[in-house]
Amino acid sequence: MFKIVCMLSGRGSNFKAILDNIQNSILKAQIVCVVSDKQCAGLEIAKQNNIEAIFLDPKGLTKKEYAQTLIKTIKPYKPDLITLAGFMRILDDSFVDAFEGKIVNIHPSLLPLFKGLNPQKQALEAGVKISGATVHFVTNELDSGPIIIQAAVGVFENDTPESLADRILKVEHKIYTMAIKLIIESKVAFTKITSGYKAEFKDTVQTRDFIINPLI
């Protein structure tokens, strides 16, 4: 069975969407544990579903020390994939290197636009008419790993960062599952190339697997 570790820091809505799609047999996988840097709702969802829920307190630890704690905790589960589902902490390079090619993240913008914190606010300030969400492999450069899938949503004149975030979240729940399914089915792979890394696809059709209408 394909084994997934979920890392989160908050309410766990993307984790719950992934879990629902496993329980509905859309994803042929098992979430073996959920790890959080905060005592949060996501951990409670894990406990309610009999999934190992682990709180790792970063207090008093350096970034590198915390990374080593994460590595020692997660490695025994032998994950095929680690999903960052709202994990609000920048990972140390040592963690990324330990699980190279096995970490994916979802970011609420159409990367490479609006990296980092508050991307919805950044989008509104820039005046873009379309924003969205991106699932990408994680590398040592923030929000810059190879892109797996993106979905677009409209940006409206009366939008606030909160209303735009809510609209984007709906497509996040869709495309995270789609990206994970591609990985499980070996239709996308993390590949090293001379200039860095790329997402290498096979047996996919762009209009079917990648494009989501911006009207929700």
105 labeled binding residue: yes
Beta 188-193 vs 196-201: how paired, if at all?
Answer: antiparallel
Which strands make up the sheet holding 103-107, listed edge to edge?
A: 52-55, 29-36, 2-8, 81-84, 103-107, 130-137, 147-154
14 labeled binding residue: yes
195 labeled binding residue: no
89 labeled binding residue: yes
Q: How far is it, in rounded angstroms, from Cα 34 to Cα 57? A: 14
Complete DSSP assignment for 9-41:
SSS-HHHHHHHHHHHTTSS-EEEEEEEESS--H
Burial of 126 (C-beta count, 10 Å sphere; 0-12/13-18/19+): exposed
Residue found under tokens 């497509």: 171
1 labeled binding residue: no
91 labeled binding residue: yes
- DSSP type of residue 60: T
50 labeled binding residue: no
Active site residue 107: yes
145 labeled binding residue: no
132 labeled binding residue: no
Active-site residue (options: 107, 136, 167, 181): 107
State which amino acid sits at residue 115: K
Q: How far is it, in rounded angstroms, from Cα 47 to Cα 29? A: 18
- The helix (run of H) or strand (run of E) holding residue 58 is none
Binding-site residue numbers are 12-14, 63, 88-91, 105
Binding-site residue numbers for (6R)-10-formyltetrahydrofolate are 63, 88-91, 105
Catalytic residues: 107
